[in-house]
Amino acid sequence: MGKWGFDFFSCKCVSQLLLFLLLLLFLPICSPLSLGFYAVSCPGAEITVKQTVRSASQMDPTVPGKLLRLFFHDCFVEGCDASVLIQGNNTERSDPANQSLGGFSVIDSAKRVLEIFCPGIVSCADILALAARDAVELTGGPSVVMLTGRKDGRVSLDSNVRPNIIDTSFTLDEMAKLFSQKGLSMDDLVTLSGAHTIGSAHCSAFDDRFDVDSNGKVTKIDALLDREYAAELIKKCPHGSSDDSVTVSNDPGTPFLFDNAYYKVLLSNKGLFQSDSALVSDKRTVGKVNEFANNQESFFEKWQESFLKLSSVGVKGEADGGEIRRTCSSPN
């Protein structure tokens, strides 16, 4: 036991701190990110975001999955700069690929509170990053020591969306190429795909795995998809992609719990998307899928590292033309 009544080096926060120090090695020298960025300027920033996410999640259990997906779509286009939050014609948010995104109101709520107590201090980009981090923790996943100090981007173009986001029909090579462009590895790809352990999707997101004939009959055409699971999906989406009022959980077993069940689902050939199934049909990734399916702690440890890397993609500071928006849905 240490002087203060606990063994500091047995604390999980030590491993997170080591991950943080490791990440610093990969950050540019001029990176605006740091630990405890708001400790003086707005000490209640992180707890305010967490309380907002918790309250929203208690009212709607689909909120954590929506926030996590929103963060992914933000970081992969223009970097983690909250550009996806900007409303208007020809913005990222207006692109058809982002029409099913949700969680915007949660970010707006946290921003309104922070603008009361810390006006002009906390960026929407940091609020979104913290909200995604908290979404994982509040659904049973690992806590991540987050770096903050992001500035909000001023550019948001719908033309930048499609070339930069993962489509559910992508092959492993297509996904790996895009991840590599963001500075993320194949292991990061497998790990961050674990975000699908929470959340849901519209029928249109996996309609490429089925065929609809002229009479409207839906049949399975993807050999990688479990037959019984395919039959369940057909029942839930009897009209194929034509009915977007229907949603299906990414993880049929524990859809509101962040755990390693997603990887077990993949090994049972019950991954919802073609891009999910690609992870178990290739020797470059199936080993990591097996590891995570058999060891949740291993998944959680790798998630902390990969999520920190994701949250550092393309961040902007004042030197990059970044700002602190007064309202998250529009630049100043």
Would you name the residues annotated as active-site residues? 73
Phi, then psi, of 248 in degrees rounded to 5: -125, 135
d(CA 238, CA 228): 15
The DSSP symbol for 152 reads: B
What are 218's strand-pairing partners? 212
What are 35's strand-pairing partners? 147
d(CA 122, CA 224): 45
The DSSP symbol for 158 reads: G
d(CA 206, CA 164): 19
Q: Which residue, chain included where needed, has tokens 């929407």? A: 124
CA proximity to 124, closest of 49, 27, 232? 49
d(CA 205, CA 272): 9
Task: Show the DSSP H helices in 34-159 as ranges.
Answer: 45-59, 63-76, 104-117, 124-138
Q: At what angle do helices 124-138 and 296-310 cross, to 10 degrees?
A: 180
